[in-house]
Amino acid sequence: MKKPRKSSSNSILVIHGPNLNLLGAREPHLYGRETLNEINRRLATRAKKAGVQLQTFQSNHEGILVDRIQRAGGDGVRMIIINPAAYTHTSIAMRDALAAVKIPFIEVHLSNIHAREAFRRHSYFSEVAVGTVCGLGSRGYDLALEYVLSAV
């Protein structure tokens, strides 16, 4: 098996959209009791074990998320794991940024967006994502990371 390189040129970026900073306290029946810090720490530990650098980023602001995606293009980020949260259903700007930097990405949702309100069923991201994981709670991030680690 190919040994993973430790340089930032195979780093992974995990992006969390609006309100995900409230995980743990926010509607736990939908999103679970784990905090974002706990999730991020677990992902960082797993990536480190694989010898891959992992960066995490959260913002409640669409433009800041677009800026972070654009920056990833020059940062040597090989793959992105993204939960665009409410912007999933509205943000052409974030989708365009991902298309512009041409970094493959996995879309993750804690809840099953297809089993909720009708407005959550449409994602601007899914048709350009490598794949999507939804409805598996925070495990979805771990599963996405396992895929990414096997691919970078």
Tokens of 53: 């650098």
Does residue 31 have an active-site annotation? Answer: yes
How far is the CA of 30 from the CAs of 94, 115, 126, in angstroms? 24, 11, 21
From candidates 4, 19, 38, 126, binder to ligand DQA by CB under 6 A: 19
Which is the catalytic residue, given 16, 87, 109, 124?
109
Helix, strand, or coil (residue 146): helix
Distance (Å, rounded) from C-alpha 110 to C-alpha 137? 4
- Exactly one of 31, 87, 124, 141 is catalytic; name it: 31
Pick from 110, 114, 109, 104: nearest CA to 147: 104
- Interface pattern 67-86 for ligand DQA (x via CB under 6 A): ----------------x-xx
Amino acid (one-letter) located at 33: R
Q: Which is nearer to ligand DQA, 1 or 92 (CB)?
A: 92
Write the interaction track for ligand DQA spanning residues 31-70; mark x where CB under 6 A is met and - where it is not. Answer: ----------------------------------------
Minimal distance, residue 90 CB to ligand DQA, in Å: 9
Cα–Cα distance, 139 to 133 (Å, whole number): 9
Q: Which two tokens stand for residue 47?
A: 């990536």
For 32, the 3-state DSSP assignment is coil
Q: Please say if 89 is a catalytic residue.
A: no
The footprint of ligand DQA on residues 101-140 (CB under 6 A) is 109-111, 113, 120
The residues annotated as belonging to the active site are 31, 109
Interface positions with ligand DQA (CB under 6 A): 19, 83, 85-86, 88, 109-111, 113, 120
